Amino acid sequence: MTIENQVRVQPIRATETQLIPFAELSTGQASAIRNGSVAAVVALATKILREPANKLIVRDIRPKEDLDFTRATWLETTGATVDVYEDMTAGTLADRRFIGIYGIEDDTDAYNVSKLRIKIGNSIKSIWMLENLYSYNAGPRIGFTSSTIIIPMNTPYDIERFVININASTQIILKGFVVEPYGKVLSP
């Protein structure tokens, strides 16, 4: 049995989500989670767009262009209110574009955000607690989930962070990808 078959990736319900610290994954599991996520989003995109998979491109998320992020990088500053959710990014995904998110990397120097809440359409799809990632001080603070979050085309989304330190630097990178037809950003 291949690694890809050992990790089952499914659409999510908020009660089923969790972040698995990268340090707890065995060799190959992180790649299997990503590959399973890509397969799930490509399958959805081919069904909705009615295009074959070889006419689609899978590329990294561009924060500003794809998710209406404040900057072209993931670096931001938290707001002036503590113990509240604030928007990290919100908008409506572009036409003929799908996003899959399978984890995060927190490159912030301090512990300024304790959780992320991800809404797709009118429902909360995931609440990720970040505290368990901070116990691994010797390595990167990276977490994966085997439950892919999919943002379909033309769908509203809202990704919020729970602030515990005000006016503080934060760099929470969404580990994910964009699936779209060739030619929107990249040409064959």
The string of pLDDT tens digits covering residues 49-70 is 999 999 999 999 999 999 988 8
Looking at residue 1, its pLDDT comes to 40
Q: Cα(74)–Cα(16) distance, rounded to whole angstroms?
A: 26
Chain-centre distance for alpha carbon 72: 16
Burial class (CB in 10 A: 0-12, 13-18, 19+), 143: buried
Assigned CATH topology for domain 16-181 = Jelly Rolls (2.60.120)
Looking at residue 45, its pLDDT comes to 97
Which amino acid is residue 145, in one-letter code?
T
Q: Which residues pair with 57 in a beta bridge?
A: 180
Helix (H, G, I), strand (E, B) or coil at 105: strand
Evaluate whether 175 touches 105 at the Cβ level (below 8 Å): yes
Q: Are strands 113-120 and 156-163 parallel, antiparallel or unpaired?
A: antiparallel
Entry pTM: 0.87
Q: Cα(185)–Cα(162) distance, rounded to whole angstroms?
A: 32
Q: Cα(27)–Cα(25) distance, rounded to whole angstroms?
A: 7
Residues of the chain with pLDDT under 50: 1-7, 12, 15-16
Number of Cβ atoms within 10 Å of the Cβ of 46: 16
Residue spans per domain, the chain: 16-181
Chain-centre distance for alpha carbon 147: 11
Q: Cα(170)–Cα(188) distance, rounded to whole angstroms?
A: 36
